[in-house]
Chain A
Amino acid sequence: MIYNDEMETLPREALEALQLKRLQNTVERVYNLVPFYRRKFEEAKVKPEDIKSLDDLKRLPFTTKQDLRDNYPFGLFTIPLEQVVRVHASSGTTGKPTVVGYSKRDVDVWSDLMARSLAATGVTKGDIIQNAYGYGLFTGGLGVHYGGERLGATVIPISGGNTKKQIMIMKDFGSTVLTATPSYTLYLAETMEEMGIKREELKLKVGILGAEPWSDEMRKAIEEKLGIDALDIYGLSEIMGPGVAIECIEAKNGLHIWEDAFIPEIIDPETGKVLPDGEEGELVITTILKEAIPLIRYRTRDITRIIKEPCKCGRTHRRIERIKGRTDDMLIIRGVNIFPSQIESLLMETEGVEPHYQIIVDRVNNLDTMEIIVEVSENIFSDEIKHLQKLKERIEKDIKDLYGITVKVTLSEPKTLQRFEGKAKRVIDKRKI
């Protein structure tokens, strides 16, 4: 279902004209109100009046996560705190968190975009949304919550964790929509199996999953286990939160980025050069509708490409491909670039292997080593050592053949890999460079 028919199917020409107008307003706003931007623009020798077309966007300097940290907590806000009605922050695993603020209108726009996103996955006001994204400083919980309410659906603000209770509520309340991270969704499905609850006992029909990169194979596994459509949602707190881009149920192929609020670009992460549509690189987003903390050319560090071909759903907003990984997740093993998502796809293609794995990268005698720890489930367990050895060797050989790197596969007992009820910790890099 299309929530905002006029805006979502706006002809490209009109959409781009709207983008330019909003971009100009945003650039003017940050130049006048935020000393950081004024300084950066001056360094780049560009003034707001130089932005005459969307093509001029590339003359503006990038903004990075480090810039947000340097201006911690409120240095990039364009409005006084009295007008800020909400703050969120990203988990600061290293150093300070990055803080974002929302004006009343920002929350309103976010709710709208999130309602659009939910509607694109087929959710209607008759649905019951079990929102298992964390509530708190993380944007996932409240983002989905406000969007669900805006759409008129029933929202269960259960937040993450407490898995057995989640399942009980899902069954008893007849939840039809699950919003969660893909790794948590799989964990939920597994716990359900353990509890002896069959998918037929649930009313679940769609899962809107995001906040971490996942693969198409993982989608298949989730759809199979829960008997639902699993759709990808994209967002990041710096830009807004969930609802920046969404996969539509009609095509289930790539995520529509709401271009009336965001301008996406794909750049070469090394050189910063803008790449043409269709080429893979780092996603850069400029917010053009935000009041409290607009971001100019924000480097998301997410790797994807823009799909410019029109979508069969009728929306004119371009799609980005499923996020392949993050520039900082990319592992360089003896000079070979590899993303954890590629390992995940390969493991899931190996019959019976549960997608519970962890990658450990280390450097021994100046050589990079990669170990993949795979949990042994009942599906692949055998009473004979040689069968398990063969499985191990097959995974090692497949990775060698496909990516040209030598890895060690270690089989582990199930549930020994730490389960994160939020985002999955897939990679441990012990290298000290």
Chain B
Amino acid sequence: MKRIRQISVFVENRPGRLLEVVDLLGKNGINIKALSLADSSDFGIVRLVVKGVDDAIKVLKENGFTVRETPIIACMIEDKPGSLAKILRTLAENEINIEYMYGFASPIEGKAVMVFKFSETEKAQEILNKNNIKMLTQEEIREI
């Protein structure tokens, strides 16, 4: 099971709210590896991959945020034109639906890291394995 731990945080759609989340993590020495913001008209969900998941959850909860942890998949791909299209094509051909995806802030030289939430995680993982697409573990994330 190559899953990594993602933290989702509920935020109201108002100025400075994302800053508060990020600032809180920064002040507690928690490094953000990847972040995406999904929004609707009046609220948003901040999704984060961090170093120090347990500390991050603790500090966010203590400050009154609603937090949820979700297992997601992180794939390492070549940092060159067409490589994301290639993996997405593989997934599409196998009828794997992506709920959401986003990229890492600072991956390894020459590589890019994308995180995915699939509708059917098991099946997606199987396809990715079969096609030799490298998935990262939580330990590997920590080392990036």
* A residues whose Cβ falls under 8 Å from a Cβ of B: 376-378, 381-385, 388-389, 410-416
Contact = CB atoms under 8 A, between A and B. Distances in A.
A413 to B, nearest CB: 5
A383 B66 contact: no
A239 to B, nearest CB: 40
Contact of B8 (A383, A389, A411, A416): A383
B40 A389 contact: yes
Given A378-B68, A388-B43, A413 B11 contact: yes
Nearest to B11: A413
B12 A412 contact: yes
Contacts of B39: 385
Looking at B42, B47, B65, the one whose CB has the most chain A CB atoms below 10 A away is B42
Contact of A413 (B8, B12, B40, B117): B12
B42 A383 contact: no
A189 B10 CA distance: 23
B64 interface: yes
Contact of B68 (A383, A385, A416): A383
Given A376-B10, A410-B42, A413-B10, A382 B68 contact: yes
Contacts of A382: 8, 45, 68
A2 to B, nearest CB: 47
B88 interface: no
B69 to A, nearest CB: 9
B83 interface: no
Interface string B3-23: 000101011100000000000
Q: Looking at chain B's contact residues, is the secondary structure mostly helix, strand, loop, or mixed?
A: strand
Contacts of A383: 6, 8, 45, 47, 68, 70, 117
Contacts, number: 52
Contacts of B64: 413-415
Contacts of A377: 66
A385 B66 contact: no
A411 B43 contact: yes
23 contacts: A376-B10, A376-B43, A381-B8, A381-B68, A382-B45, A383-B8, A383-B45, A383-B68, A384-B117, A385-B38, A385-B39, A385-B40, A385-B45, A388-B40, A388-B45, A410-B43, A412-B12, A413-B10, A413-B11, A413-B64, A413-B65, A414-B66, A416-B12
B126 interface: no
B50 to A, nearest CB: 15
A381 B10 contact: yes
Contacts of B99: 384
Which 4 pairs show the lowest CB-CB distances between chains A and B?
A: A383-B8, A383-B70, A381-B66, A385-B38
A343 B12 CA distance: 22
Contacts of A381: 8, 10, 66-68
Interface in B24-47: 38-40, 42-43, 45, 47
Contacts of B11: 413
A389 B45 CA distance: 12
A360 to B, nearest CB: 13
Looking at B11, B64, B66, B100, the one whose CB has the most chain A CB atoms below 10 A away is B66
Interface in B100-130: 100, 117
Looking at A383, A384, A410, the one whose CB has the most chain B CB atoms below 10 A away is A383
Contacts of B67: 378, 381
